[in-house]
Structure 1
Amino acid sequence: MNSLRNLPISRRLWLILAVAILMLSIQGGLMLQQLHTGLYAAKGEKTKHVVQGAAGILKHYQGLESSGALSREQAQQQAMDMIRGLRYAGQEYFWINDQTPTMIMHPTNPKLEGQHLSGFKDPDGKALFNDMVRISKAEGAGQVDYRWPKPGSSEPLPKVSYVELFKPWGWIIGSGVYIDDVEAEFRSQALGALGVGAIIILLMAGLVTLIARSIARPPRETVDAMANIASGEGDLTRSLDSAGRDELAARAGHFNAFTGKVRQVIRQSLESARTLDQAARARRHCR
Protein backbone atom coordinates (compact mmCIF):
# COMPACT_ATOMS: atom_id res chain seq x y z
CA MET A 1 0.00 0.00 0.00
CA ASN A 2 2.77 2.42 0.91
CA SER A 3 4.47 1.77 -2.43
CA LEU A 4 1.40 3.13 -4.20
CA ARG A 5 1.92 6.41 -2.33
CA ASN A 6 5.05 6.86 -4.44
CA LEU A 7 2.88 7.14 -7.54
CA PRO A 8 0.88 10.23 -8.50
CA ILE A 9 -2.89 9.86 -8.27
CA SER A 10 -3.30 9.99 -12.04
CA ARG A 11 -0.90 7.08 -12.49
CA ARG A 12 -2.76 5.05 -9.91
CA LEU A 13 -5.95 5.56 -11.90
CA TRP A 14 -4.20 4.47 -15.10
CA LEU A 15 -2.93 1.44 -13.21
CA ILE A 16 -6.55 0.51 -12.44
CA LEU A 17 -7.35 0.82 -16.15
CA ALA A 18 -4.37 -1.37 -17.07
CA VAL A 19 -5.49 -4.08 -14.65
CA ALA A 20 -9.06 -3.85 -15.99
CA ILE A 21 -7.80 -4.22 -19.58
CA LEU A 22 -5.71 -7.23 -18.55
CA MET A 23 -8.71 -8.88 -16.90
CA LEU A 24 -10.91 -8.15 -19.93
CA SER A 25 -8.25 -9.60 -22.23
CA ILE A 26 -8.01 -12.81 -20.19
CA GLN A 27 -11.78 -13.15 -20.05
CA GLY A 28 -12.10 -12.41 -23.76
CA GLY A 29 -9.42 -14.98 -24.60
CA LEU A 30 -11.22 -17.66 -22.58
CA MET A 31 -14.55 -16.80 -24.20
CA LEU A 32 -13.03 -16.97 -27.69
CA GLN A 33 -11.47 -20.32 -26.85
CA GLN A 34 -14.85 -21.63 -25.70
CA LEU A 35 -16.45 -20.23 -28.86
CA HIS A 36 -13.94 -22.00 -31.09
CA THR A 37 -14.40 -25.26 -29.20
CA GLY A 38 -18.19 -24.90 -29.41
CA LEU A 39 -18.18 -24.25 -33.16
CA TYR A 40 -15.90 -27.22 -33.74
CA ALA A 41 -18.00 -29.50 -31.51
CA ALA A 42 -21.18 -28.42 -33.32
CA LYS A 43 -19.67 -29.54 -36.64
CA GLY A 44 -18.78 -32.93 -35.18
CA GLU A 45 -22.23 -33.35 -33.66
CA LYS A 46 -23.91 -32.45 -36.96
CA THR A 47 -21.81 -35.04 -38.81
CA LYS A 48 -22.67 -37.68 -36.23
CA HIS A 49 -26.41 -37.15 -36.69
CA VAL A 50 -26.35 -37.30 -40.50
CA VAL A 51 -24.24 -40.49 -40.47
CA GLN A 52 -26.63 -42.11 -38.01
CA GLY A 53 -29.48 -41.15 -40.34
CA ALA A 54 -27.72 -42.61 -43.39
CA ALA A 55 -26.94 -45.81 -41.46
CA GLY A 56 -30.69 -46.22 -41.16
CA ILE A 57 -30.79 -46.80 -44.93
CA LEU A 58 -28.37 -49.71 -44.56
CA LYS A 59 -30.54 -51.15 -41.79
CA HIS A 60 -33.61 -50.85 -44.03
CA TYR A 61 -32.08 -52.77 -46.91
CA GLN A 62 -30.50 -55.32 -44.60
CA GLY A 63 -33.99 -55.89 -43.24
CA LEU A 64 -35.20 -56.56 -46.79
CA GLU A 65 -32.34 -59.05 -47.14
CA SER A 66 -33.30 -60.76 -43.90
CA SER A 67 -36.93 -61.02 -44.98
CA GLY A 68 -35.91 -62.63 -48.25
CA ALA A 69 -37.28 -59.81 -50.39
CA LEU A 70 -33.79 -59.09 -51.73
CA SER A 71 -30.57 -61.00 -52.00
CA ARG A 72 -27.56 -59.60 -50.17
CA GLU A 73 -26.04 -58.42 -53.41
CA GLN A 74 -29.26 -56.67 -54.43
CA ALA A 75 -29.74 -55.14 -50.98
CA GLN A 76 -26.18 -53.85 -50.87
CA GLN A 77 -26.31 -52.45 -54.39
CA GLN A 78 -29.61 -50.62 -53.79
CA ALA A 79 -28.34 -49.27 -50.47
CA MET A 80 -25.16 -48.00 -52.15
CA ASP A 81 -27.14 -46.38 -54.97
CA MET A 82 -29.40 -44.66 -52.47
CA ILE A 83 -26.53 -43.37 -50.33
CA ARG A 84 -24.45 -42.36 -53.37
CA GLY A 85 -27.05 -39.73 -54.26
CA LEU A 86 -27.49 -38.31 -50.77
CA ARG A 87 -26.28 -34.74 -50.17
CA TYR A 88 -26.62 -32.28 -47.32
CA ALA A 89 -25.36 -28.74 -46.69
CA GLY A 90 -25.07 -28.32 -50.45
CA GLN A 91 -22.21 -30.66 -51.34
CA GLU A 92 -21.49 -32.89 -48.35
CA TYR A 93 -21.73 -36.62 -49.09
CA PHE A 94 -21.33 -40.14 -47.62
CA TRP A 95 -18.87 -42.91 -48.44
CA ILE A 96 -18.62 -46.58 -47.53
CA ASN A 97 -15.50 -48.66 -46.94
CA ASP A 98 -14.96 -52.04 -45.34
CA GLN A 99 -12.64 -53.10 -42.52
CA THR A 100 -9.71 -54.22 -44.67
CA PRO A 101 -9.93 -51.16 -45.48
CA THR A 102 -11.14 -51.09 -49.10
CA MET A 103 -13.32 -48.37 -50.57
CA ILE A 104 -16.78 -49.72 -51.38
CA MET A 105 -18.43 -46.52 -52.58
CA HIS A 106 -17.27 -42.91 -52.94
CA PRO A 107 -19.63 -40.58 -54.85
CA THR A 108 -17.15 -37.79 -55.69
CA ASN A 109 -14.07 -39.92 -56.39
CA PRO A 110 -15.15 -43.20 -58.03
CA LYS A 111 -11.50 -44.02 -58.83
CA LEU A 112 -11.05 -44.92 -55.16
CA GLU A 113 -13.69 -47.67 -55.33
CA GLY A 114 -12.13 -51.10 -55.02
CA GLN A 115 -8.79 -49.70 -53.86
CA HIS A 116 -7.08 -50.94 -50.71
CA LEU A 117 -6.62 -47.87 -48.48
CA SER A 118 -4.38 -48.98 -45.61
CA GLY A 119 -1.47 -46.99 -47.07
CA PHE A 120 -3.57 -43.93 -47.86
CA LYS A 121 -2.46 -40.89 -45.84
CA ASP A 122 -3.41 -37.24 -45.75
CA PRO A 123 -0.77 -34.46 -46.23
CA ASP A 124 0.01 -34.61 -42.50
CA GLY A 125 0.91 -38.30 -42.73
CA LYS A 126 -2.27 -39.52 -41.02
CA ALA A 127 -3.50 -42.97 -42.14
CA LEU A 128 -7.11 -41.88 -41.90
CA PHE A 129 -8.82 -45.04 -43.16
CA ASN A 130 -6.80 -47.18 -40.74
CA ASP A 131 -7.99 -44.86 -37.97
CA MET A 132 -11.58 -45.31 -39.14
CA VAL A 133 -11.23 -49.09 -38.95
CA ARG A 134 -9.59 -48.89 -35.53
CA ILE A 135 -12.29 -46.63 -34.07
CA SER A 136 -15.15 -48.62 -35.59
CA LYS A 137 -13.77 -51.91 -34.20
CA ALA A 138 -13.03 -50.47 -30.76
CA GLU A 139 -16.09 -48.25 -30.25
CA GLY A 140 -18.48 -49.00 -33.08
CA ALA A 141 -18.42 -45.35 -34.15
CA GLY A 142 -16.38 -42.21 -33.65
CA GLN A 143 -14.84 -39.04 -35.01
CA VAL A 144 -11.79 -38.85 -37.26
CA ASP A 145 -10.13 -35.56 -38.17
CA TYR A 146 -7.90 -35.18 -41.21
CA ARG A 147 -7.36 -33.12 -44.35
CA TRP A 148 -9.07 -33.88 -47.66
CA PRO A 149 -9.57 -31.92 -50.93
CA LYS A 150 -12.98 -30.44 -51.65
CA PRO A 151 -14.75 -31.75 -54.76
CA GLY A 152 -13.21 -30.06 -57.80
CA SER A 153 -10.18 -28.88 -55.83
CA SER A 154 -6.74 -30.33 -55.19
CA GLU A 155 -5.97 -28.39 -51.99
CA PRO A 156 -6.49 -30.51 -48.84
CA LEU A 157 -8.53 -28.72 -46.19
CA PRO A 158 -9.27 -29.66 -42.55
CA LYS A 159 -12.24 -31.96 -42.23
CA VAL A 160 -14.21 -33.42 -39.33
CA SER A 161 -15.64 -36.86 -40.10
CA TYR A 162 -17.79 -39.35 -38.27
CA VAL A 163 -17.82 -43.07 -39.09
CA GLU A 164 -20.12 -45.87 -37.93
CA LEU A 165 -19.72 -49.62 -38.31
CA PHE A 166 -22.66 -51.53 -39.83
CA LYS A 167 -21.89 -54.98 -38.41
CA PRO A 168 -24.23 -57.18 -40.52
CA TRP A 169 -22.29 -56.31 -43.69
CA GLY A 170 -18.97 -55.28 -42.16
CA TRP A 171 -19.28 -51.84 -43.77
CA ILE A 172 -18.13 -48.55 -42.36
CA ILE A 173 -20.27 -45.62 -43.44
CA GLY A 174 -18.90 -42.15 -42.94
CA SER A 175 -19.27 -38.50 -43.81
CA GLY A 176 -17.30 -35.38 -43.07
CA VAL A 177 -17.66 -31.62 -43.11
CA TYR A 178 -14.97 -29.10 -43.88
CA ILE A 179 -14.16 -26.74 -41.06
CA ASP A 180 -12.71 -23.86 -43.07
CA ASP A 181 -16.07 -22.12 -42.63
CA VAL A 182 -15.71 -22.67 -38.87
CA GLU A 183 -12.40 -20.83 -38.93
CA ALA A 184 -13.92 -18.05 -41.05
CA GLU A 185 -16.88 -17.72 -38.68
CA PHE A 186 -14.57 -17.77 -35.68
CA ARG A 187 -12.37 -15.05 -37.18
CA SER A 188 -15.45 -12.95 -37.92
CA GLN A 189 -16.77 -13.28 -34.38
CA ALA A 190 -13.30 -12.77 -32.91
CA LEU A 191 -12.84 -9.55 -34.90
CA GLY A 192 -16.27 -8.38 -33.76
CA ALA A 193 -15.38 -9.12 -30.14
CA LEU A 194 -12.05 -7.31 -30.52
CA GLY A 195 -13.85 -4.31 -32.00
CA VAL A 196 -16.28 -4.17 -29.08
CA GLY A 197 -13.37 -4.60 -26.66
CA ALA A 198 -11.47 -1.75 -28.32
CA ILE A 199 -14.51 0.54 -28.01
CA ILE A 200 -14.90 -0.39 -24.34
CA ILE A 201 -11.22 0.29 -23.70
CA LEU A 202 -11.41 3.68 -25.43
CA LEU A 203 -14.48 4.63 -23.41
CA MET A 204 -12.79 3.52 -20.20
CA ALA A 205 -9.63 5.43 -21.13
CA GLY A 206 -11.67 8.57 -21.78
CA LEU A 207 -13.51 8.16 -18.48
CA VAL A 208 -10.25 7.61 -16.58
CA THR A 209 -8.79 10.71 -18.22
CA LEU A 210 -11.74 12.83 -17.07
CA ILE A 211 -11.66 11.35 -13.57
CA ALA A 212 -7.89 11.76 -13.33
CA ARG A 213 -8.14 15.41 -14.28
CA SER A 214 -10.99 16.04 -11.84
CA ILE A 215 -9.08 14.36 -9.01
CA ALA A 216 -5.47 15.30 -9.73
CA ARG A 217 -5.92 19.01 -10.61
CA PRO A 218 -7.45 20.23 -7.29
CA PRO A 219 -4.76 18.60 -5.07
CA ARG A 220 -2.05 19.97 -7.34
CA GLU A 221 -3.50 23.47 -7.06
CA THR A 222 -3.77 23.05 -3.29
CA VAL A 223 -0.15 21.92 -3.05
CA ASP A 224 0.96 24.89 -5.16
CA ALA A 225 -1.02 27.30 -3.00
CA MET A 226 0.30 25.83 0.26
CA ALA A 227 3.86 25.86 -1.08
CA ASN A 228 3.38 29.48 -2.07
CA ILE A 229 2.19 30.37 1.42
CA ALA A 230 4.96 28.33 3.05
CA SER A 231 7.55 30.29 1.11
CA GLY A 232 6.73 33.33 3.23
CA GLU A 233 5.74 35.47 0.30
CA GLY A 234 2.48 33.78 -0.57
CA ASP A 235 -0.51 35.40 -2.18
CA LEU A 236 -3.24 35.14 0.47
CA THR A 237 -5.80 36.56 -1.93
CA ARG A 238 -5.66 33.36 -3.96
CA SER A 239 -8.74 31.14 -3.78
CA LEU A 240 -9.16 27.54 -4.88
CA ASP A 241 -12.06 26.20 -6.92
CA SER A 242 -14.57 24.86 -4.40
CA ALA A 243 -17.31 23.97 -6.88
CA GLY A 244 -18.70 20.51 -6.29
CA ARG A 245 -19.76 18.31 -3.38
CA ASP A 246 -16.85 15.92 -3.04
CA GLU A 247 -14.01 15.85 -0.50
CA LEU A 248 -11.74 17.87 -2.78
CA ALA A 249 -14.29 20.66 -3.01
CA ALA A 250 -14.68 20.56 0.79
CA ARG A 251 -10.90 20.82 1.23
CA ALA A 252 -10.76 23.74 -1.16
CA GLY A 253 -13.55 25.42 0.80
CA HIS A 254 -11.67 24.93 4.06
CA PHE A 255 -8.50 26.29 2.44
CA ASN A 256 -10.38 29.35 1.22
CA ALA A 257 -11.89 29.83 4.69
CA PHE A 258 -8.43 29.54 6.25
CA THR A 259 -6.86 32.09 3.89
CA GLY A 260 -9.88 34.32 4.45
CA LYS A 261 -9.34 34.27 8.21
CA VAL A 262 -5.65 34.89 7.75
CA ARG A 263 -6.45 37.87 5.54
CA GLN A 264 -8.92 39.12 8.18
CA VAL A 265 -6.31 38.77 10.94
CA ILE A 266 -3.75 40.62 8.85
CA ARG A 267 -6.31 43.30 7.98
CA GLN A 268 -7.20 43.74 11.66
CA SER A 269 -3.51 43.85 12.55
CA LEU A 270 -2.89 46.52 9.94
CA GLU A 271 -5.87 48.53 11.16
CA SER A 272 -4.68 48.24 14.77
CA ALA A 273 -1.20 49.30 13.74
CA ARG A 274 -2.65 52.23 11.81
CA THR A 275 -4.77 53.26 14.80
CA LEU A 276 -1.78 53.08 17.14
CA ASP A 277 0.31 55.09 14.71
CA GLN A 278 -2.37 57.76 14.48
CA ALA A 279 -2.67 57.90 18.28
CA ALA A 280 1.08 58.22 18.67
CA ARG A 281 1.20 61.05 16.18
CA ALA A 282 -1.63 62.81 17.98
CA ARG A 283 0.20 62.66 21.31
CA ARG A 284 3.35 64.04 19.75
CA HIS A 285 1.37 66.87 18.21
CA CYS A 286 -0.23 67.76 21.58
CA ARG A 287 3.17 68.09 23.20
Structure 2
Amino acid sequence: MKLSHIMLFPSLILLISCAGKKEVDATPSEVIAKVRKAARLIEDKGLEGLEVLRDPHSEFSWKDTYVFSFNCAEDKVLANAAFPEKVGGDIKQHTDYNGFRYGLKMCEESDSPNGVWVEYIWPKPSGGQPLRKISYVLTVKNLNIQVGAGIYNEEISMTELNQLIQ
Protein backbone atom coordinates (compact mmCIF):
# COMPACT_ATOMS: atom_id res chain seq x y z
CA MET A 1 0.00 0.00 0.00
CA LYS A 2 1.32 3.45 -0.86
CA LEU A 3 2.07 6.00 1.84
CA SER A 4 -0.53 8.38 0.37
CA HIS A 5 -3.22 5.71 0.80
CA ILE A 6 -2.18 5.10 4.40
CA MET A 7 -2.39 8.82 5.18
CA LEU A 8 -5.76 9.11 3.46
CA PHE A 9 -7.34 6.36 5.59
CA PRO A 10 -7.48 8.32 8.94
CA SER A 11 -8.95 11.31 7.13
CA LEU A 12 -11.70 9.16 5.64
CA ILE A 13 -12.56 7.70 9.04
CA LEU A 14 -12.78 11.19 10.55
CA LEU A 15 -14.96 12.41 7.67
CA ILE A 16 -17.32 9.42 7.94
CA SER A 17 -17.64 9.74 11.73
CA CYS A 18 -18.44 13.46 11.50
CA ALA A 19 -20.97 12.97 8.70
CA GLY A 20 -23.28 10.96 10.96
CA LYS A 21 -23.23 13.49 13.79
CA LYS A 22 -26.18 15.81 14.07
CA GLU A 23 -26.02 19.27 15.59
CA VAL A 24 -28.40 19.35 18.53
CA ASP A 25 -28.04 22.85 19.94
CA ALA A 26 -29.73 25.74 18.20
CA THR A 27 -27.64 28.88 17.82
CA PRO A 28 -28.68 32.45 18.58
CA SER A 29 -28.51 33.32 14.87
CA GLU A 30 -30.81 30.42 13.99
CA VAL A 31 -33.28 31.51 16.66
CA ILE A 32 -33.35 35.07 15.33
CA ALA A 33 -33.80 33.86 11.74
CA LYS A 34 -36.60 31.41 12.63
CA VAL A 35 -38.48 33.95 14.77
CA ARG A 36 -38.28 36.57 12.04
CA LYS A 37 -39.43 34.00 9.45
CA ALA A 38 -42.33 32.99 11.72
CA ALA A 39 -43.27 36.67 12.11
CA ARG A 40 -43.39 37.04 8.31
CA LEU A 41 -45.54 33.89 8.11
CA ILE A 42 -48.03 35.34 10.60
CA GLU A 43 -47.98 38.70 8.79
CA ASP A 44 -48.76 36.97 5.48
CA LYS A 45 -51.16 34.22 6.61
CA GLY A 46 -52.68 35.80 9.70
CA LEU A 47 -53.98 33.46 12.37
CA GLU A 48 -53.85 30.54 9.89
CA GLY A 49 -50.07 30.74 10.17
CA LEU A 50 -50.33 29.63 13.78
CA GLU A 51 -51.22 26.12 12.60
CA VAL A 52 -47.73 25.80 11.13
CA LEU A 53 -46.17 26.89 14.43
CA ARG A 54 -48.29 24.35 16.33
CA ASP A 55 -46.99 21.50 14.16
CA PRO A 56 -44.05 19.76 15.91
CA HIS A 57 -42.85 18.51 12.50
CA SER A 58 -42.67 21.92 10.83
CA GLU A 59 -39.44 23.80 10.16
CA PHE A 60 -40.22 25.87 13.26
CA SER A 61 -39.41 22.93 15.56
CA TRP A 62 -35.76 22.12 15.08
CA LYS A 63 -32.75 20.84 17.02
CA ASP A 64 -33.46 21.49 20.71
CA THR A 65 -35.98 24.31 20.32
CA TYR A 66 -39.18 25.56 18.70
CA VAL A 67 -41.04 28.76 17.84
CA PHE A 68 -43.93 29.65 20.13
CA SER A 69 -46.52 32.42 19.87
CA PHE A 70 -48.73 34.40 22.21
CA ASN A 71 -50.88 37.51 22.35
CA CYS A 72 -50.06 39.87 25.21
CA ALA A 73 -53.18 42.00 24.69
CA GLU A 74 -55.42 38.93 25.07
CA ASP A 75 -53.06 37.37 27.62
CA LYS A 76 -53.10 34.05 25.78
CA VAL A 77 -50.65 31.44 24.42
CA LEU A 78 -51.45 30.82 20.74
CA ALA A 79 -48.91 28.17 19.66
CA ASN A 80 -46.39 25.89 21.34
CA ALA A 81 -45.48 22.71 19.46
CA ALA A 82 -43.31 21.32 22.28
CA PHE A 83 -45.76 22.01 25.10
CA PRO A 84 -49.23 22.01 23.44
CA GLU A 85 -50.96 21.96 26.83
CA LYS A 86 -49.82 25.58 27.24
CA VAL A 87 -51.96 26.77 24.28
CA GLY A 88 -54.87 28.85 25.53
CA GLY A 89 -53.12 29.55 28.82
CA ASP A 90 -52.45 32.91 30.40
CA ILE A 91 -48.99 33.97 29.17
CA LYS A 92 -48.50 36.60 31.85
CA GLN A 93 -48.91 34.01 34.60
CA HIS A 94 -46.29 31.61 33.18
CA THR A 95 -43.46 31.14 35.61
CA ASP A 96 -40.15 29.35 35.30
CA TYR A 97 -38.69 26.83 37.75
CA ASN A 98 -37.54 29.65 40.06
CA GLY A 99 -40.92 31.41 40.11
CA PHE A 100 -39.86 34.15 37.67
CA ARG A 101 -42.82 35.36 35.57
CA TYR A 102 -41.07 35.15 32.22
CA GLY A 103 -44.32 35.55 30.27
CA LEU A 104 -45.01 38.89 31.92
CA LYS A 105 -41.44 40.02 31.18
CA MET A 106 -41.83 39.01 27.52
CA CYS A 107 -45.01 41.05 27.28
CA GLU A 108 -43.52 44.07 29.06
CA GLU A 109 -40.59 44.10 26.62
CA SER A 110 -42.48 43.10 23.45
CA ASP A 111 -42.67 46.62 21.99
CA SER A 112 -38.95 46.72 21.21
CA PRO A 113 -38.70 47.21 17.41
CA ASN A 114 -35.82 44.73 17.03
CA GLY A 115 -37.27 42.21 19.44
CA VAL A 116 -36.01 41.31 22.90
CA TRP A 117 -34.14 38.50 24.66
CA VAL A 118 -35.55 37.23 27.97
CA GLU A 119 -33.80 34.66 30.15
CA TYR A 120 -35.43 32.09 32.43
CA ILE A 121 -35.11 28.46 33.57
CA TRP A 122 -36.90 25.87 31.40
CA PRO A 123 -36.52 22.19 30.39
CA LYS A 124 -35.55 21.14 26.89
CA PRO A 125 -38.41 19.55 24.90
CA SER A 126 -36.45 16.27 25.09
CA GLY A 127 -36.64 16.38 28.88
CA GLY A 128 -34.06 16.51 31.60
CA GLN A 129 -33.13 19.12 34.15
CA PRO A 130 -34.39 22.66 33.61
CA LEU A 131 -31.63 24.88 32.19
CA ARG A 132 -31.00 28.54 31.44
CA LYS A 133 -33.12 29.37 28.42
CA ILE A 134 -32.82 32.65 26.59
CA SER A 135 -35.73 33.42 24.30
CA TYR A 136 -35.88 35.97 21.52
CA VAL A 137 -39.36 37.52 21.16
CA LEU A 138 -40.61 39.73 18.34
CA THR A 139 -44.03 41.34 17.85
CA VAL A 140 -45.92 40.98 14.56
CA LYS A 141 -47.09 44.58 14.44
CA ASN A 142 -50.12 44.28 12.14
CA LEU A 143 -51.75 41.65 14.42
CA ASN A 144 -50.10 42.50 17.75
CA ILE A 145 -49.03 38.85 18.13
CA GLN A 146 -45.71 37.86 19.64
CA VAL A 147 -43.50 35.04 18.33
CA GLY A 148 -40.41 33.70 20.04
CA ALA A 149 -37.91 30.87 20.32
CA GLY A 150 -35.06 30.20 22.66
CA ILE A 151 -31.70 28.60 23.17
CA TYR A 152 -30.38 26.66 26.10
CA ASN A 153 -27.00 28.16 26.88
CA GLU A 154 -25.12 28.79 30.10
CA GLU A 155 -22.27 30.88 28.66
CA ILE A 156 -23.53 33.53 26.23
CA SER A 157 -24.20 36.92 27.77
CA MET A 158 -27.25 39.07 27.30
CA THR A 159 -24.95 41.78 25.90
CA GLU A 160 -23.75 39.41 23.15
CA LEU A 161 -27.32 38.39 22.36
CA ASN A 162 -28.55 41.98 22.19
CA GLN A 163 -25.75 42.88 19.79
CA LEU A 164 -27.09 40.26 17.37
CA ILE A 165 -30.48 41.97 17.06
CA GLN A 166 -29.31 45.56 16.62
Find the counterpart in structure 2 of residue 47 from structure 1.
31
**Residue identity matched to 2:127:** S
Find the counterpart in structure 1 of residue 82 from structure 2.
108
List runs of 5+ in structure 1 lacking aligned partners.
1-41, 62-74, 184-287
Match of 1:82 among 46, 52, 61: 52
Change (3 A) 1:89 1:152: closer
> In the alignment, is the contact (CA less than 8 A) between 1:101 and 1:129 conserved in 2?
no
| Percentage of pairs with the same residue | 22
Matched pairs, number? 126
Superposed displacement of residue 47, structure 1? 2.1
Change (3 A) 1:54 1:148: same
Superposed displacement of residue 45, structure 1? 4.0
Superposed displacement of residue 83, structure 1? 2.5
Name the structure, 1 or 2, with higher relative contact order (CA <8 Å, separation 6+): 2
Q: Which has the higher strand share?
A: 2
TM-score calculated relative to the size of structure 2: 0.66
Residue correspondence of structure 1 range 164-243 to structure 2 within 5 A = 164-179=138-153
**SS of the counterpart of 2:65?**
coil
Q: Which has the higher helix share?
A: 1
Question: For the pair shown, which has the larger CA radius of gyration, 1 or 2?
Answer: 1
Deviates more, 1:46-55 or 1:91-100: 46-55
**SS of the counterpart of 1:155?**
coil
Find the counterpart in structure 2 of residue 125 from structure 1.
99
Find the counterpart in structure 2 of residue 94 from structure 1.
67
Match of 1:157 among 131, 134, 146: 131
Q: CA RMSD in A?
A: 2.3
Matched, 1:56 2:56: no
CA distance in 2, matches of 1:171, 1:151: 23
CA distance in 2, matches of 1:174, 1:94: 5
**SS of the counterpart of 1:125?**
coil
CA distance in 2, matches of 1:60, 1:124: 37
**SS of the counterpart of 1:93?**
strand
Can you list the C-alpha shifts for 1:234-287, whole angstroms capped at 9, x where unaligned? xxxxxxxxxxxxxxxxxxxxxxxxxxxxxxxxxxxxxxxxxxxxxxxxxxxxxx
Can you list the C-alpha shifts for 1:22-73, whole angstroms capped at 9, x where unaligned? xxxxxxxxxxxxxxxxxxxx94444222211221211221xxxxxxxxxxxx
Find the counterpart in structure 1 of residue 15 from structure 2.
none
CA distance in 2, matches of 1:56, 1:150: 26
Superposed displacement of residue 93, structure 1? 0.9
CA distance in 2, matches of 1:76, 1:88: 18
Residue correspondence of structure 1 range 2-41 to structure 2 within 5 A = none
